[in-house]
Structures are given as C-alpha cells and as structure tokens.
Amino acid sequence: MGNSPGGGGGGDGKILDIKTADLKSAAPTFSEQSGKLRDALTALTDTLDGLGSPWGADEQGKTFGESYKPAREKIEHATKIFVAGLASIHEAMVDMSDGHIENDKLIAAMFSKKGAKGAQGSGSGGDSGSGK
C-alpha cells in the first residue's frame, strides 16, 4: 500500500516527480500552437471582413447582424486571450524547469555543505558532527 505508485503520496518518498527535460521539450509546442491559432484567427478575421454584411438589409438580416457583430467580437477577443495564454504557458514551463534545476542544485549544495554521508561531488567533505 505505502509503496504503490499513485498511492496518494504514502510511503514511497516521492511527492512530485518533475522531469525538467520533459518540461523543456514540451514547452515549444504551446508557442507553436499559439502562433498557429493567431494565424488562423487572422485568416478568419480577414475573410469575414472581406465579406462585409452578406446577410442582407431586410428585417431578418438586421436582426441577425445585431446579434452577429457582438458575438463575433467576443469570440475574437477570447481567441486573442487564448493565443496569449498558450504563449505564456511556454514561458512558464521553461521558467519552471529552470527553477526546478536551480532548486535541486541549492538542495544538493546544502547537503554537501553539511557533509552528508554518501554525498558525491566536490562538496566541503567535512563532517558536521551530527553523527548522521
């Protein structure tokens, strides 16, 4: 029970296993998709602008146009937010990976300064006298 994978964090000593290489390799996908979505939005907007108001000037056309224009603006605005959000995920994943690497280095340095037994590397090598 305690050492089973995904067992609710009990017993295996792992709380979160972050693979920095996975973060860095997946991050560009968000930027690429952001660019593709931006390009698609631009193409759609240009095409719709080029069509003008093809629904006509009769009563039914006017009713449609009054509903269509605000809905289109909302969709375009939301899509622009989504484009920016995808790009920011790329940046956040790279920052998270870099921060995780730096945190690992900091923790490793803390343990090597205390002279933990079994620590490898060029740490201070001294024993802190803790007996552990």
Q: Please indicate, yes or no, if residue 126 is contained in any of the structural domains.
A: no
Cβ 125 vs Cβ 115: under 8 Å: yes
Q: Please indicate, yes or no, if residue 132 is contained in any of the structural domains.
A: no
**How many angstroms separate the CA atoms of 105 and 119, rounded?**
13
Task: Provide the number of structural domains found in the chain.
Answer: 1
Q: Please indicate, yes or no, if residue 83 is contained in any of the structural domains.
A: yes
Range of the domain at 100: 20-114
Q: Please indicate, yes or no, if residue 44 is contained in any of the structural domains.
A: yes
- pTM given for the model: 0.60
Give pLDDT, residue 62.
93
pLDDT along the chain (132 residues), means of 10: 48 72 88 97 97 92 94 97 94 84 79 58 47 46
Q: Please indicate, yes or no, if residue 43 is contained in any of the structural domains.
A: yes
Cβ 30 vs Cβ 87: under 8 Å: yes
Give pLDDT, residue 42.
98
Give pLDDT, residue 114.
59
Give the domain CATH number at 66: 1.10.287.1060
Give pLDDT, residue 113.
65
Q: Residue 50: exposed, middle, or buried by beta-carbon count in 10 A (0-12, 13-18, 19+)?
A: exposed
Give pLDDT, residue 20.
81
CA distances from 30 to 11, 33, 80 (A): 35, 5, 14
Give pLDDT, residue 107.
80
